[in-house]
Amino acid sequence: MLIRDETASDAPAIRAVVTEAMKLLPQASGTEADIIDRLRAADALSLSLVAEDGGEVVGYLASSDARIGAEPGWSLIGPLAVVPSRHCEGIGSALMAEAISRLRARYEGAALVGDPGYYGRFGFRTFPKLRVGGCPPRFIQALPFNAGEPQGELIHHSAFGLHQRE
């Protein structure tokens, strides 16, 4: 399996993988593939990694720039998706390891909204003062690289379509 940057021809396969994987997630909005397209159109994908196996895209991870409270320099990881027929083969972990390794050199830290049961294994954890309006706090996690304790609202790119209070 190969983890690599997306190329222009990957976009339809990325849409298919993300759409199929997110069907398994009850809290998914169904707009995750659209968010990726909007981030790409805005040139806001800091990472757009695909996992390729046998010439097929089997997994995907995006990241974009974010802010926590007044602090810039954070990276927001997501969406992350692996095609359901290939779950539990280490593909998600390989995408996360590559993302963290690349982001560590360029950002104060990484943050995400997701299941703590999964992301804890990569060092992500909750912080008492880290929040995303309307989202249960246990799902909002960060991995500081250089930064201290993240405090405040995690501000996503507008492509996520969230109406956030600054």
Ligand X SMILES: CC(C)(COP(=O)(O)OP(=O)(O)OC[C@H]1O[C@@H](n2cnc3c(N)ncnc32)[C@H](O)[C@@H]1OP(=O)(O)O)[C@@H](O)C(=O)NCCC(=O)NCCS
Interaction mask 114-133, ligand X, x per CB under 6 A: xx-xx---------------
26 interacts with ligand X by CB under 6 A: no
20 interacts with ligand X by CB under 6 A: no
The span of 88-96, 122-130, 136-144, 153-161 binding ligand X (CB under 6 A) equals: 88-96
Q: Cβ closer to ligand X: 38 or 151? A: 38
What CA–CA distance (Å, rounded) separates 105 from 109?
A: 10
Helices (H) and strands (E) in the chain, counts: 4, 8
Q: Cβ closer to ligand X: 26 or 55? A: 26
Confirm if 59 and 88 have CB atoms less than 8 A apart.
Answer: no
Q: Cβ closer to ligand X: 12 or 72? A: 12
78 interacts with ligand X by CB under 6 A: yes
Closest distance to ligand X from the beta carbon of 106 (Å)? 22
Three-state DSSP at 12 gives helix
Q: Cβ closer to ligand X: 72 or 161? A: 161
Confirm if 132 and 154 have CB atoms less than 8 A apart.
Answer: yes
How many CA within 13 A on the CB side of residue 47? 31
Nearest to 113 by CA among 76, 146, 159: 76
What CA–CA distance (Å, rounded) separates 166 from 164?
A: 6
Enumerate binding residues for ligand X (CB under 6 A): 21-22, 24-25, 78-82, 87-93, 114-115, 117-118
